[in-house]
Amino acid sequence: MKDLATLGQRIRHFRTEAGLTLDQLGAAVGVAASQLSLMENGRREPRLSLLSAVADELGIPVGTLLESAPPSERAALEIELERAQTASTYRELGLPPLRASKAMTDDVLRAIVGLHREIERRAREAVATPEEARRANTELRALMRTRNNYLPDIEVLAEEELRAVGHSTGALTHRSVSRMAERLGFELVHVDDLPHSARSVTDLENGRIYLPPASIPGGHGLRSMALQAMAHRLLGHAAPTSYAEFLRQRLEINYYAAACLMPLTQSLEFLRDAKNDRNIAIEDFRDAFGVTHEAAALRFTNLATEHLGITLHFLRVGGDGSISKAYENDDLPLPVDATGSIEGEIVCRQWSAREAFERTNRTTEYYQYTDTPAGTYFESTQTGSAAAEEFSITLGVPFAESKWFRGRETKVRYRSTCPELSCCKRPASELSERWSGRAWSSAKVHAHIFSPLPAGTFPGVDDRELYEFLEAHAGQ
């Protein structure tokens, strides 16, 4: 039972309708009145057997008590008030909690709840700045690193929901997703007039999840969006009161969707077999469950350390070399700004995430070894395109872990010489001024060393001088 406050309100509503006191109902079902009071106030979760006894005594089906809607407008306002006063926005004001007593009129209660809504709205506006977003992203990434990007409670929840609809093997079907929605009281409806910025819209009152028709007739998108919308209900999410909370909720619903599309038990069976064969490949994992390459790579980060004992890193990088998403627990030296944020930072040109763009054949994964100041890494990268930009998805591991992966026999190896990864970010004009007027960019020098450019690119300069050039100026 995810919402004890609503359950408690429903028990109280039907008890008072039946004209029973707490003592009378408690005596009838064999529990103390104080225990019933805790249940009605949402402080204790009753056993199902006790709920059945209460429902029988009140003359209603037990399902009526378990309905998700508050029994009255007054009850809905009391629940909202209690939740608002437990939120960090209110606690930070240092004010004492205010209980909705019987003497408080409905008009007064509406006014107080309205004030709380306005406080939360202004708090959301105040924190929704680029600086706050970057800080919140950085903190969440650091937190997930300590957890190996693994959320066991959501894994259990996903397995329970899949088991309830009889899914046990193979890719999750659209029919199974629809049945999962029906279990929560939702119908999946496709419409062509959703707001451009909305992936889906959930109508709680009428029990509908509206999805765009672009996902029909199939594919990863429809299932994932529907599962994400359901996750909000299953995980008991309320409206976020901060950007950090918004990010946490988004991470959790994405995790739930991935755990349903690539279930824990099936995924581990597949990946352990691949590891035993020393043939782990994200493209195989992707195809086995009918998801995108990015979804498969991210799901692998959830499971690799916790269940396979493999540390790793994940990168989504744009065609210009900028990071849009990243995770690591293998000490890969990610480029960061002064606040520790990685979003928008440029990765070294010698990393697989950028080298893969140079390939003519992009239908399969690209493999390479990359030497960095923190050690050597084996990386596999798949490129793609979305809207107006190219992107690459990279999954990498320390050299010692490469023995488990397909592509480890590759002879491609690059050396990333920049301790701070900064020389690859400086414009050629700045480099020219700094380095005696020579129009050298470090990217061009890197490219020449590992894949010689045409003769005359650097007149009168040999490779030894280029190496010395990088060693002397890489950190500038």
Q: What is the model's pLDDT at position 293?
A: 95
Per-residue pLDDT reduced to its tens digit, 215-233:
444 445 678 889 999 999 9
Q: Report which residue type is found at 420.
A: E
The structure tokens listed for 432 are 């020219």
Per-residue pLDDT reduced to its tens digit, 344-353:
899 999 999 9
- H or E, element range at 377: strand 375-386
CA distance 190 to 62: 33
Per-residue pLDDT reduced to its tens digit, 353-394:
999 998 877 788 999 999 998 999 999 999 998 777 899 999
Per-residue pLDDT reduced to its tens digit, 149-195:
999 999 999 999 999 999 988 888 888 999 999 998 888 887 777 66
The structure tokens listed for 96 are 């004492």
Per-residue pLDDT reduced to its tens digit, 63-103:
888 888 888 888 888 888 888 887 777 777 888 888 888 88
Q: What is the model's pLDDT at position 128?
A: 54
Lowest mean pLDDT among 140-144, 301-305, 326-330, 414-418: 414-418
Residue among 190, 249, 262, 255 at smallest CA distance from 222: 190
Q: What angle do CA 203, 184, 6 make, to 5 degrees?
A: 80
| CB contact at 8 A, 452 and 446 | no
Q: What is the model's pLDDT at position 66?
A: 86
Share of the chain above pLDDT 70, in %: 82
Residue 378 CB neighbours (<10 A): 25
Q: What is the model's pLDDT at position 91?
A: 77
Cis peptide leading into 217, omega within 30 of 0? Answer: yes
| CB contact at 8 A, 367 and 378 | yes
Q: Is the pLDDT of residue 46 over 90?
A: no
The structure tokens listed for 8 are 């408690």
Q: What is the DSSP letter of 322?
A: B
Spell out the residues 6+ positions from residue 455 whose beta carbon is closer than 8 angstroms to its own.
Answer: none
Longest CA pairwise span in the chain (Å): 99
